[in-house]
């Protein structure tokens, strides 16, 4: 009312200037009605006549979408994806095989057999739930904790082991540190260590796919810590303005190495940022493989059909240390870790579901655990016996034609090894 009165007074002053005679009426075209919306090009909004800042804690948190409860019961039958038994078994076996591989490679690093490792404990559901919802030709950009996606696509244990050992069978020829996998045949872009660099790269790939009208999507994985990087802002904004068929998949596992989410951001997680960039966004229970599957399936469908980016925030928990270079007991309690390991684990949740459907029993569980460990150990032992790549591979695969400075360096190395080769373990390298 006060605003309307002030507006009427302003109009009267404008119409009654000294010596101007009687007031005249303005037409609607001359003075717009107070109901007219702002015409600023930078935002779509209404006018407000009261000074008020938006407070982050006024808006309620984005809900967490789930399909199963912690005991493996379907909460809403309408949301049950009704996956066939064969597919559910593949989800479960991939998660448990990944868990077994993690345990063996983690221990191998502790024994000094490999230089580094990162486990996926507690986050297996985010991997396989999303991987199962994609087409095999969809392009994957991972961060470094998405081994389950590659495993679901059929990447063999031999190559996982070869990469971690950096032996002669490693497709990367021993040039990358462990867990930096990549596979062109399975459309999995090689991992790089710097955080969030994959995000704008993934958007560029999605834009190229859009221009080629290739009926594919890109999925880009990252953690909530990586979302604090500037590359995340650039990627989100590019994807929205260029209308790219991409799924941003954030694994919010509670910790960015040692930094908890309470120190990482003050807002409502990562999904809340999506609307500000123009991204369709959802928050899901990352320990519920069916919720992850449903969200990714629908996001993938719409991303391709509508050329629209989507943001999925999967809430989960990193049970293991950040890596073998980290000791998480320095910044979190054992009780906290045990809760997630024993009470809310994606593997146990899916196992409860399968037991309830009569698709699994304790004997099958024991048999699978034994056989999966045997498979991992066989690949492990084979990788350990293989030699390292030929030292000449230090100089290849950078240029199509080797430039003079690299040829000089290669010749210098050869001469050095001829004189001092006995001081190097050359017997462990492929000839």
DSSP 123-165: -HHHHHHHHHHS-TTSEEE--SS-HHHHHHTT--HHHHHHHHH
Catalytic-residue membership of 336: no
pTM for this prediction? 0.90
Q: What is the pLDDT of residues 99-126, one digit of tens each?
A: 999 999 999 999 999 999 999 999 999 9
pLDDT of the residue at 34: 52
Catalytic-residue membership of 258: no
Q: How many CB atoms lie within 10 A of CB 76?
A: 8
Of the listed 192, 323, 348, 430, which one is catalytic? 323
Of the listed 193, 329, 371, 396, which one is catalytic? 193
pLDDT of the residue at 45: 86
pLDDT of the residue at 60: 79
Catalytic-residue membership of 322: yes
Task: Name the pLDDT band for 340 (thresholds 50, 70, 90).
Answer: very high
Q: Rounded mean pLDDT of 126-152?
A: 98
Look at 17-21, 65-69, 220-224, 249-253 and tell me which has the smallest mean pLDDT.
17-21
Catalytic-residue membership of 44: no
Of the listed 322, 328, 345, 372, which one is catalytic? 322
Q: Is the pLDDT of residue 12 over 50?
A: no
| Nearest in space to 287 (alpha carbons), one of 258, 251, 323 | 251
Q: Which of the pair, 39 or 197, is modelled with greater confidence?
A: 197
Of the listed 36, 73, 107, 306, which one is catalytic? 107
Q: What gap in Å lies between CA 218 and CA 299, rounded to an integer?
A: 11
């Amino acid at each position: 009312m006060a605003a309307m009165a002030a507006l009427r007074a302003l109009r009267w002053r404008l119409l009654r200037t000294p010596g101007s005679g009687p007031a005249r009426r303005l037409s609607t075209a001359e003075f717009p009605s107070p109901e007219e919306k702002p015409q600023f090009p930078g935002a779509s909004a209404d006018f407000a006549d009261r000074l008020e800042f938006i407070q982050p804690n006024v808006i309620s948190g984005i809900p967490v979408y789930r399909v199963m409860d912690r005991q493996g019961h379907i909460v809403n039958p309408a949301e049950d994806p009704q996956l066939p038994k064969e597919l559910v078994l593949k989800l479960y076996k991939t998660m448990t095989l990944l868990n077994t591989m993690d345990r063996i490679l983690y221990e191998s690093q502790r024994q000094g057999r490999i230089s580094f490792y990162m486990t996926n404990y507690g986050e297996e559901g985010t991997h396989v739930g999303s991987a199962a919802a994609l087409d095999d030709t969809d392009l994957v950009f991972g961060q470094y904790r998405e081994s389950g996606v590659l495993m679901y696509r059929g990447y063999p244990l031999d190559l996982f082991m070869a990469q971690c050992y950096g032996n002669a069978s490693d497709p990367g020829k021993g040039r990358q540190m462990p867990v930096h996998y990549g596979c062109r045949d399975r459309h999995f872009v090689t991992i790089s260590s710097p955080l969030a660099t994959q995000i704008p790269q993934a958007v560029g790939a999605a834009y190229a796919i859009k221009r080629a009208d290739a009926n594919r999507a890109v999925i880009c994985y990252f953690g909530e810590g990586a979302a604090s990087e500037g590359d995340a802002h650039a990627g989100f904004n590019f994807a929205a303005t260029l209308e790219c068929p991409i799924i941003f998949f954030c694994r919010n596992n509670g910790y960015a190495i040692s930094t908890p989410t309470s120190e990482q951001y003050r807002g409502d997680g990562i999904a809340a940022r999506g609307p500000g960039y123009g991204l369709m966004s959802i928050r899901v229970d990352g320990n519920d493989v069916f919720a992850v599957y449903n969200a990714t399936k629908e996001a993938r469908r719409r991303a391709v059909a509508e050329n629209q980016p989507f943001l999925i925030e999967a809430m989960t928990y990193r049970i293991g240390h950040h890596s073998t270079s980290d000791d998480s007991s320095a910044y979190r309690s054992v009780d906290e870790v045990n809760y997630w390991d024993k009470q809310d684990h994606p593997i146990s949740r899916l196992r409860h579901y399968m037991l309830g459907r009569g698709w699994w029993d304790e004997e099958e569980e024991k048999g699978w655990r034994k056989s999966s460990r045997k498979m991992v150990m066989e690949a492990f032992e084979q990788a350990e016996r293989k030699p390292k790549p030929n030292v000449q591979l230090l100089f290849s695969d950078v240029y199509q034609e080797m430039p003079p400075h690299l040829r000089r360096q290669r010749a210098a190395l050869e001469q050095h090894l001829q004189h001092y080769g006995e001081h190097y373990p050359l017997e462990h390298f492929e000839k």
